[in-house]
Amino acid sequence: MWELVKAGGWLMTPIVVCSILALVIIIERSHTLQFSKIVPSRLREQLITRLRENGDIGRTQLMNVKEKTALGDILATGLLYRQYGLESMTMHMQNRASVQVHQLEKNINMLGTIGAIAPLLGLLGTVLGIISSFLAITDGAMQDPTMLAAGVSQALITTAAGMIVAIPALVAYRYFQRRIIDINAQFETQAGLMIQELYDYQLLDNANAAAPANSTTTIDERAPDRLNIDKTNVATI
């Protein structure tokens, strides 16, 4: 193996570095982007059940839920702000979802970059190997084939190494991108279902919504008095 790396020339060094980085990122993201760790099953049902039984969830308990999983962060944030109304609750949940998705995308772009530049490094090695082969021909390599073989082997080895690094990197990049899209869809689904269940079980705080209704009623009750005053003035005239 080391002989192949040496035969590939100095361009094998960045290709090997890219392969190590890609391997580390693939292992780390495979461990991190697991549905069981990001979107635990029945978390929403457990929160709604606790709300129905106790009427509320303590701030300390919600903070513990926030720190454990990404979905817990989003749902617990919504419950922390539900007393301020649906609009505030939804806005804070969307903000936390954006933060979580950004964290899930960590190093994914680096993996795509490796998948893009590794073939270019291999192509560059191919060009340099062919150039060295032609230079060897001009120096009399037809009499010494080993001089010609060195450039050809460099060209073939760097090309193969670049593709060996790029193919799994691009496959993993596309796979992780799709996984993040699926996780984001789960975030939206679970948040929407929680809001719907808060409405269904009448767990959403409607204190802010009640104030405008009372104000409207007061204005409507005063309206007939104003009409009576106008009618009296008309009668007097």
The predicted pLDDT at position 144 comes to: 62
Phi, psi of 33 (to 5 degrees): -85, 65
**pLDDT surpassing 50 at residue 208:** no
Residue 134 domain flag: yes
Q: What phi, psi does 141 have (nearest 5°)?
A: -70, -15
Are 9 and 125 in contact by the 8 Å Cβ rule? The answer is: yes
Q: Is 38 part of any domain?
A: yes
Question: How many domains are there within the chain?
Answer: 1
SS (H, E, C) the chain: CHHHHHHCCCCHHHHHHHHHHHHHHHHHHHHHCCHHHHCCCCHHHHHHHHHHHHCCCCHHHHHHHHHHCHHHHHHHHHHHCHHHCHHHHHHHHHHHHHHHHHHHCCCHHHHHHHHHHHHHHHHHHHHHHHHHHHHHHHCCCCCCHHHHHHHHHHHHHHHHHHHHHHHHHHHHHHHHHHHHHHHHHHHHHHHHHHHHHHHHCCCCCCHHHHHHHHHHHHHHHHHHHHHHHHHHHHHHC
Determine, yes or no, domain membership for 142: yes
Structure-model confidence comparison of residues 139 and 18, the more confident one: 18
Q: Residue 116: pLDDT band by 50, 70, 90 thresholds?
A: very high
Q: Is residue 221 part of a domain?
A: no
Q: Tell me whether residue 229 is in a domain.
A: no
Per-residue CA distances from 124 to 13, 92, 112 (Å): 13, 49, 19
Per-residue pLDDT, 4? 74
Give the whole-number percent of the chain exceeding pLDDT 70.
Answer: 81
Inform me whether the pLDDT recorded for 214 exceeds 70: no
Tens of pLDDT along 151-202? 788 888 999 999 999 999 999 999 999 999 999 999 999 999 999 999 998 8
Report pLDDT for 117. Answer: 96
Mean pLDDT of 68-86: 94
Longest dimension (CA), the chain: 129
Tokens of 32: 């991190």
Which pLDDT value is given to residue 145? Answer: 66
Question: Poorest-confidence range of 63-77, 106-120, 126-140, 218-232?
Answer: 218-232
Cβ-proximal residues to 150 (8 Å cutoff; 6+ apart), any chain: 7, 132, 133, 136
pLDDT for 147: 65
- Structural domain that includes position 41: 2-209
Q: Domain for residue 219, yes or no? A: no
Mean pLDDT of 78-93: 93
Q: Cα(96)–Cα(73) distance, rounded to whole angstroms?
A: 7
Q: Assess if residue 233 is contained within a domain.
A: no
> Is residue 124 in some structural domain?
yes
- What pLDDT is attached to residue 205? 53
- Nearest C-alpha neighbor of 186 from the set 43, 24, 31, 22: 43
Mean residue pLDDT across the chain: 83
pLDDT of 206 over the 90 cut: no
Q: What is the mean pLDDT of residues 100-111?
A: 95
Is the Cβ–Cβ distance between 38 and 70 less than 8 Å? yes
Residues 6+ apart with CB under 8 A from 12: 5, 6, 125, 157, 158, 161
